[in-house]
Structure 1
Amino acid sequence: MDKKNVVIITAIALILVVCAAGYSLYASAHQPVSGQKTKTIIDMEGRTVVIPHPVQKVVTIGSVPVQNSFIFALGKADTIVNGIPAKFVQQGRWKYQYVFAPHLEGQPEMQSASYEPNIEEIMKAAPDVVFTMDQATVDTLDQSGLSVVYLSWVDAEDVKGLMALMGEIYDRQDAARDYVQYFDDTIQRVNSKVGQIPENERPKVLYFQYTGMTVPHKIGDWWIMKGGGRSVTDAPRQTESLKIEPEQIVGWNPDIIIISTPSEIGAVYNDTRLSTVNAIKNKRIYITPMGAHIWSHRGIETPLTVLWAAKLFYPDRFTDLDLEQETTEFYTQFFGYTLTPDQVKEILSGKAKI
């Protein structure tokens, strides 16, 4: 064997030794505790995932606040070991993430500004489970030997499967069922008062993000309809968000405009391109509430959004609906947290700031 071949074989052998040593170190650091129980679950992508039982530490990657809110509702906020990503913190709006889970303050960030997971930080935290709503993150973390659970909420009814899965993971099946029952009961309560209103008598409603001229979430069409309104953007589409133009808004001429960012309200009123729109002429632009998450987005507070919308659209039909009381009772029942009257008002205003 010539000298060149010997060098090549030696190099390959060294690489194999290093890889084996690295794997050995990883395995020894993450090997199951003797006698530790496990359970097998099927996530929302149909993947079979083996997880420790009970689950004591979790990491949420991607849309962190919305995933956190599901965990809050099961009384398991203390299992989250990652902080709120800087991208969210910089918005200054996520006050109630820290109200409901004070320990999140100062926890390490575990993803980049573009939502890519920081594998080194995640491995250091040694979570029992990593939750994500992003397929690429699943693929990345699967290769690291972590127990990754994919969550999905595209259509309104998906929350039922999501909460059932989370209840199974945390052994909080009863709490998950209670939430699903509350979800269904709330929608039915509202429907009993608005379900028979003819389509042409319902207010035309636009929910949108002014800065980007987009309708950010398909679920907005759903809660507007469940609240008794007509979403002017309610048409089949493949994408979660929808790009719109000022000319379309003028053509739709909504009676009510709903936004989720307080700083945009002045800009909408001052946009001369929209001056003929009924919602602007009649001063009917509203900000959605915000608690653990923005109510108008997909999140644990969606049933409250339907109540809020129904009261907004039909104040005379819902004179007996006390939104402050409903809000207080919701967070007490599901989050185990009793809000003060001032906190309730702040959540309903949509203007909470850190």
Structure 2
Amino acid sequence: MKMSGKFQVTRSSWLLTLLVCLICSIGIVTADTGTAAGSTQTVTDMTGNSVQIPATIDRVADFWNAHNEVVLMLGAGDKLVATTSLVHGMPLFNKVYPRIGTLPAPFDSTTKEVTVEDVINAKPDVAIFSDGMNKSAEKLTEVGIPSLVFYFTTFDDLKKCFLLTGTILGDGAKEKAEKYNDYLDTKLAEIKGVTSKIPEDKKLSVLHLNSLKPLQADGNKTLIDTWINVAGGTNAAGKDLSGNMKSVTIEQIQSWNPDVIIMMGTTKDKETVMNDPQWKDLKAVKDGHVYLNPKGVFYWDRYGAEEALQIQWAAKTLYPDLFKDLDIKDVLKKFYTEFFDYNLTDDDINSIMNPTE
């Protein structure tokens, strides 16, 4: 059947629109130039910057702490040539992938400063930073090292970030990212299918502490706020705080009086909260609902690949009666085997659930 000119134009316009949407959703546009040895691609990072990088990426300097775990999960750990001081200190990361401890760490996770000369010596094809580290990224760009800035506060943007990372890394990493995203989507649907039915006035208020010294909590417009909501809770600090790792006072926490406290830190930190007189009158403390956030290859709660585990653990922790059939240990073992090619021992699991360092 011969199509009318009007139909052909409409169909062409629709296809063009679809193509543009697909490109934008991935966040990367490739444009090979030069010879095969010098081919490049233009990448649009998560801040909207267009950056020209080599078409083939073999050497990555990753200065976003959590993103190192993403590179490892995507099967590209051997492409890492520089990391951070914080990643060096992650016990299970070093156990799952011992090579990480041998890499230079020219980015200080405390000062958030990069030693340019050391990065140059690592000879990366590309450097990766998180939002808020733009000055360091600019320093490397000035010496000819292409730098990308990634960030997200929602699971949709997390998936875009992981897919973009996989596309850049190549060698099967994109397929691994798609597999992870499918897994995450499945778990999000399963959890929301339960927690979305909890009445608003029955949802538990959850305070997430980043640290005790200094005393810091996580507010709205964060991934922490997002997973609290997915798990069926409300962020106790959400109305007063915006962003990650915000300084708070014990008086503020007392005014919020959360039902549940989930905290980063160690078993000693939890003991401090449970036994300190300043905390004793909080509902969460009196009810025994103070929990350490698991710490695996990276911190589960903070922007890494184990977010897929965090949402399941958080839902089970907040509402054990609603998730009786969810066996976190079984979920853990299967996840690590599938995505890290590592078989967890019972001791590993105990260390993850009860971090001591």
TM-score (norm 2): 0.82
Q: Which structure ranks higher in relative contact order (CA pairs < 8 Å, sequence separation ≥ 6)?
A: 1
The 5 A counterparts of 1:1-354 are 35-61=37-63, 63-64=64-65, 66-85=66-85, 89=88, 94-112=90-108, 113-133=110-130, 134-171=133-170, 172-208=173-209, 209-216=211-218, 218-235=222-239, 237-262=241-266, 263-351=268-356, 353=357
In structure 1, C-alpha distance between the alignment counterparts of 2:240 and 2:53, rounded to whole Å: 38
Query: Offset at 1:198?
Result: 0.7
Query: Offset at 1:36?
Result: 4.3
Please provide the CA RMSD for this pair: 2.2
Q: Which runs of 5+ in 1 are unaligned?
A: 1-31
Q: Is the 8 A contact 1:223 1:306 kept in 2?
A: yes
Query: Offset at 1:83?
Result: 4.5
Query: Offset at 1:95?
Result: 0.6
In structure 1, C-alpha distance between the alignment counterparts of 2:232 and 2:242, rounded to whole Å: 24
Q: Is the 8 A contact 2:205 2:234 kept in 1?
A: yes
Q: Is the 8 A contact 1:41 1:50 kept in 2?
A: yes
Deviations 1:78-120 (A, max 9, x none): 11112541x565xx5x112212321122322212451222111
Deviations 1:301-323 (A, max 9, x none): 11211100111111121111110
In structure 2, C-alpha distance between the alignment counterparts of 1:155 and 1:189, rounded to whole Å: 17
Query: Offset at 1:238?
Result: 4.5
- The structure with more radius of gyration: 1
Query: Please, which moves more after superposition, 283-292 or 150-159?
Result: 150-159
Deviations 1:20-65 (A, max 9, x none): xxxxxxxxxxxx997344333222222222322331111112x33x
Structure 2 residue matching 1:140: 3-state secondary structure: helix
In structure 2, the CA distance between the partners of 1:53 and 1:150, relative to structure 1 (3 Å rule), is same
Across the two proteins, how many residue pairs are aligned to each other? 315
Query: Offset at 1:159?
Result: 0.6
In structure 2, the CA distance between the partners of 1:185 and 1:340, relative to structure 1 (3 Å rule), is same
Query: Offset at 1:251?
Result: 2.5
In structure 2, the CA distance between the partners of 1:199 and 1:350, relative to structure 1 (3 Å rule), is farther
What's the % identity of the aligned pairs? 27
In structure 1, C-alpha distance between the alignment counterparts of 2:244 and 2:234, rounded to whole Å: 19
Structure 2 letter corresponding to 1:143: E
In structure 2, C-alpha distance between the alignment counterparts of 1:225 and 1:216, rounded to whole Å: 13
